[in-house]
Chains A and B, each alone.
Chain A
Amino acid sequence: MKLRKIKNSEYVIYIAFALLISFLTYIYVFSEMKNYYTDYSAHSRAYLSLFFSRDTLAEGFMAVPYCLWHLIALFMYKVIGAPIEASAAYSAIFFTLLSYLIILFILNRVSENSDVSSSSDVFSALKNAFISAGLCIAQPLYFYWIGSGDRYSGVFSPNPLHNPTNMCVRPFSILAFCLICDIWGAQENSSYKGVFFKVENGLKRYYVLLSVTLFISTLAKPTFDEVFIPAVGIVMLVKLIARLVKKSDDRKEYAKNFLYTFLCAVPSLVFIAVMFFVYYTLDGNYYDTGSSVVITQLGEVWSLYSDNIALSVFLGMAFPLYMLLIDTRYFIKNDFGRLALITYVIGFAEAMLIGETGRKMMDADYIWPMMSGMLLMYLASLTRLVHLEKKIGENRKLQIAVIIGWILFLAHVFCGILFLKAKIGMWG
């Protein structure tokens, strides 16, 4: 893997877009903080305040054991001395920018790998920056007279911007996704050259990096790991079984790789176990003690917010579903597409079948993992679209298929802008 040198003009564009999404995030968080019943208000005013003194620190940790966002905000509040609203906003900006930069990195890598003659012109930089910023704010398609009539509830989103912890996990989930894809590539083929990382130089450091990334993502919010680890496990287990059945020469090698990859997940799994223990057994979740995880009827929780789950899925996933439709083989055969699809499917199954008892059922907390799956589907679809755009040649039908893909993606981005407009009330 060779990294292209980025020109100064490209940096200017990247920074300009970074400033733009920082600005949007800042005013969005402030507008959310104005309303007492938002997630931002709850996390900042109810949970974060528990971290302020030593006496309540343990209580705070029990209430939100996934406390990465809170710790950064706490740092801003206690060390820098920023007011609570600004601390929340800066913390959110920090993670949004991290997501933006990681997506930018991915797109640049995919563009360069797809097109050897890839120009480093201003337009490419502009396009990639625009798409990265777009993916950071993309929202489901919204028509107020269709579905539940809500921009978020019922449809859900790859970018639930209103939830600080889910936005905090986003960069780490994307990073873990790319890491695992390159690690798989190197595990399967020793001459594989990494798309995102230099895995050709040895996997050890990337295993460590994966482990750390997964752990941080769990510290941010466990919902990503709740789908990602099972998805990775299932794919690798199937591959291992296939090798064992076929008695392939590399079955022992693959079993070793499987074990290494599993070890990367152990810190996160232990932390998740601690969190569940704190949350459900020690009743850290103080607003409805005594709740527990249950298997629900199919779609029972989701139906509380949507009259037609299939329609909600379509509105929330129009772009990835379209890409799945036109290029199914990619989502079945290619590691990147397959992992995204399986993560989404597992998340979907969790959303349809898992809930909490009591009053917390309404919180629909097991729909969060699916939203992480949605994000990966968006990312895989987007990178595929960028890749296909450069590869399809002059075939008119395929060109039209790609153009429709762009229209759908940009429609989601457009809905993201309208979402922000509606929430911020920026334009009256």
Chain B
Amino acid sequence: MKKIIPYIVLAVVMLGILLFPVKTAAEYVRIEFPGNENGILKGETCSLYYATAAPDAFNNDQRVDCKVDNDRKYIEFKLDGELNNNIKGLRLDFPGEEQVFAIAGINVKSAGFVKKRFNPCSFFEDKYILKTNDIPETTSLRDGDIVFISTEGEDPYIVFTDEAVAKLTKSFDHFIFTKLVICAFIAGCFFSYVKDPFKLRNMKQGEEE
């Protein structure tokens, strides 16, 4: 019986970790620009509006801004963990400038890991775009997997369809993998202690065997 107790304790600890309530991790939507002159974006800020009531009910309270930094070559929007399963629509706003720029990649990150990568050519296909404003043209360059977007006027934006929204917002991390790794580590330490692979249990550092 005495031998079983440590195993029971281990099981309880692991179960405790697995059941420990944690908040859903935030999700980061990153839009990457190519490293050449096509990836230079004029203007100061891009925004991502998220609608929680209806697919097209956007307002300024539900908006994430990202400053344009052409040295960094990407813009990134953070969607809080609480928005998991609550986002019904997304609207991507570009600076109100007349320009043509390229998008080289879209990826979604949560809990420190890249969860999904999307080819911009696929992502900016017509079937994923519900509505645009002040964006006369989006052109896909299939060979280089790059999309060129031209904007003009005051308020250029793209509203995505439900399908695209679902794609972008289903990667919120619930830390399940992280918890499993922690449990595996604890179990590993436990068995390492029991097995004592180095068989040096009686030896203090600095003393001879």
Contacts and interface: CB of A to CB of B under 8 A. Distances in A.
Q: Do chains A and B touch in the complex (CB under 8 A)?
A: yes
A328 B111 contact: no
Contacts of A294: none
Contacts of B209: 391
B113 to A, nearest CB: 7
Contact of B198 (A146, A311, A336, A388): A388
Given A146-B113, A311-B112, A333-B201, A321 B206 contact: no
B198 A392 contact: yes
B173 to A, nearest CB: 8
B141 interface: no
Interface residues of B, number: 31
Interface in A324-357: 324-330, 332-336
B200 A326 contact: no
Nearest to B179: A310
Contacts of A369: none
Contacts of B197: 326-327, 397-398, 401
Contacts of A334: 204-205
Nearest to A386: B205
A335 B103 CA distance: 56
A145 interface: yes
A329 B175 contact: no
Interface in A135-152: 145-148
B192 A308 contact: no
A375 B180 CA distance: 27
B200 A307 contact: no
B192 A195 contact: no
Contact of B112 (A306, A327, A388, A392): A306
Contacts of A306: 112
Interface in A269-296: none
A325 B112 contact: no
Contacts of A332: 193
Contact of A329 (B25, B182, B185, B192): B192
B192 A327 contact: yes
Interface string A188-201: 00000001000000
Contact of A307 (B110, B114, B205): B110
Interface of B is mostly: loop
Interface string B127-160: 0000000000000000000000000000000000
A308 B201 contact: no
Interface stretch (A110-118, A231-239, A408-416): A110-118
Interface residues of A, number: 40
Nearest to A321: B185
Residue of A109, A310, A327 ringed by the most chain B CB atoms within 10 A: A310
A22 interface: no
Interface in A291-329: 306-308, 310-312, 314, 321, 324-329
B178 interface: yes
B205 A110 contact: yes
A115 to B, nearest CB: 10
Interface in B152-177: 173, 175
Nearest to A397: B197
Given A113-B206, A113-B207, 7 more contacts: A148-B112, A306-B112, A311-B111, A329-B201, A391-B198, A391-B209, A398-B197
7 contacts: A114-B205, A145-B109, A311-B178, A312-B112, A314-B181, A326-B197, A327-B192
Nearest 9 Cβ contacts at the A-B interface: A195-B206, A113-B206, A308-B112, A328-B193, A308-B111, A147-B112, A328-B192, A328-B189, A311-B112
